[in-house]
Amino acid sequence: MAKIFTVLSGKGGVGKSTLCVNIALSLCQKGKKVLLIDGDISLRSLDMLLGLDGMVLYDWSDVLENRCDTEKARLFYDDNLQLLPAPLEHPESLSEESFKVLLSQYSDSYDYIFIDSPAGVGKLPMIYAKCAGQCIVVATPDNVSARSAGVMGNELVKSGIEDQNIKLVINRFDPLAVVFGKYLNVDEIIDITYLSLLGVIPEEKRMMYASVNDKELPSRCKAKICFSNIAERISGKDIPLNL
Ligand SMILES: Nc1ncnc2c1ncn2[C@@H]1O[C@H](COP(=O)(O)OP(=O)(O)OP(=O)(O)O)[C@@H](O)[C@H]1O
Ligand SMILES: [Mg+2]
């Protein structure tokens, strides 16, 4: 049975899709099997980030509505990593119950499933969160993003998800900008969000280059190591934060 995570944020553009891809790649490098589900209906991006966009014929709504089987809808990045692309229109049959059935059809074939949610506290992110049970909220080190991550955390708790299943990842962290007073530091973000920290990813200039060129980050780059540490923590290892 796969462990299922939904990756969410209050504010958009904070790095949810980037995080999904890079944590998945790190888990796969450790021999785990991962399914990525693009939950960003009409604004899908994981197919592009994985260089699979020319191959999309079906999406998960086709499985949900019995237009194709579970196999046909998956795109293979490699033997360990597969993707279910997002539909371009909101499927009428989408509900918490129907999405749970969809997940159950894939759960036995994977160690981990990650659902890349759209930003915000709308109905759709909450459906994904409730189906997954484990949530990762992403925030960047600024007031607006941190406050909206806190709001997201509250909404998740209100919808019945237990505190211990909601984790925070701080992305695009830059210690120098903190020193010059431009960014919040890690403790300030935790104080604002009331969420427990899963990891911190530094600002990495090569991230955009890696994304648009379908390349993986170099193995010795700090962001790659931080993604790998998050993957280890998700697998149950106690890896210290190294900022
Ligand atoms: N650690 C980082 N360092 C530098 N750039 C980053 C980092 N993480 C993400 N980015 C860049 O930030 C931009 C937004 O990232 P991404 O699309 O993953 O965000 P998102 O939260 O999924 O956005 P949306 O809410 O629109 O779905 C991309 O250009 C990505 O390359
Ligand atoms: Mg995204």
- 81-84 and 75-76: which strand pairing? antiparallel
Specify the pLDDT at position 67. Answer: 96
- What CA–CA distance (Å, rounded) separates 231 from 199? 10
Alpha carbon nearest to ligand 1 atom 12, residue? 15
In whole angstroms, give the CA distance from residue 99 to residue 41: 13
For the chain, which residues make up each domain, given as ranges?
A: 3-234
The ligand 1 site (C-beta within 6 Å) comprises 9, 12-18, 40, 45, 119, 171-172, 201, 203-204, 207-208, 211, 223
Q: In angstroms, what is the span from residue 116 Cα to ligand 2's centroid?
A: 7
Low-confidence spans in the chain with pLDDT less than 50: none
Question: In CATH terms, is domain 3-234 a member of 3.40.50.920?
Answer: no
pLDDT value of position 182: 82
Report the distance separating Cα 193 and Cα 205, nearest Å. Answer: 26
User: What is the reported pLDDT for 193?
Assistant: 96
From the CA of 199, which ligand is nearest?
1
Instruction: Of 97, 94, 106, 107, give the one whose Cα is nearest residue 65.
Output: 94
Rounded-to-integer distance, Cα 126 and Cα 147, Å: 18
Size of the chain in residues: 243
pLDDT score for 24: 97
- pTM of the model as a whole: 0.97
CA of 19, closest atom in ligand 1: 18
Q: Looking at residue 177, what is its pLDDT?
A: 85
State the closest ligand 1 atom to the C-alpha of 116, by its place in the atom list counted from 1: 22
Instruction: Give the model's pLDDT for residue 139.
Output: 98
Contact between 170 and 11 (Cβ < 8 Å): no
pLDDT at 236: 93
Q: What's the 3-state SS for the chain?
A: CCEEEEEECCCCCCCHHHHHHHHHHHHHHCCCCEEEEECCCCCCCHHHHCCCHHHCCCCHHHHHCCCCCHHHHCEECCCCEEEECCCCCCCCCCCHHHHHHHHHHHHCCCCEEEEECCCCCCHHHHHHHHHHCEEEEEECCCHHHHHHHHHHHHHHHHCCCCHHHEEEEEEEECHHHHHCCCCCCHHHHHHHHCCEEEEEEECCCHHHHHHHCCCCCCCCCHHHHHHHHHHHHHCCCCCCCCC
pLDDT value of position 178: 83
- The separation between the first and the last C-alpha atoms of the chain, rounded to the nearest angstrom, is 33
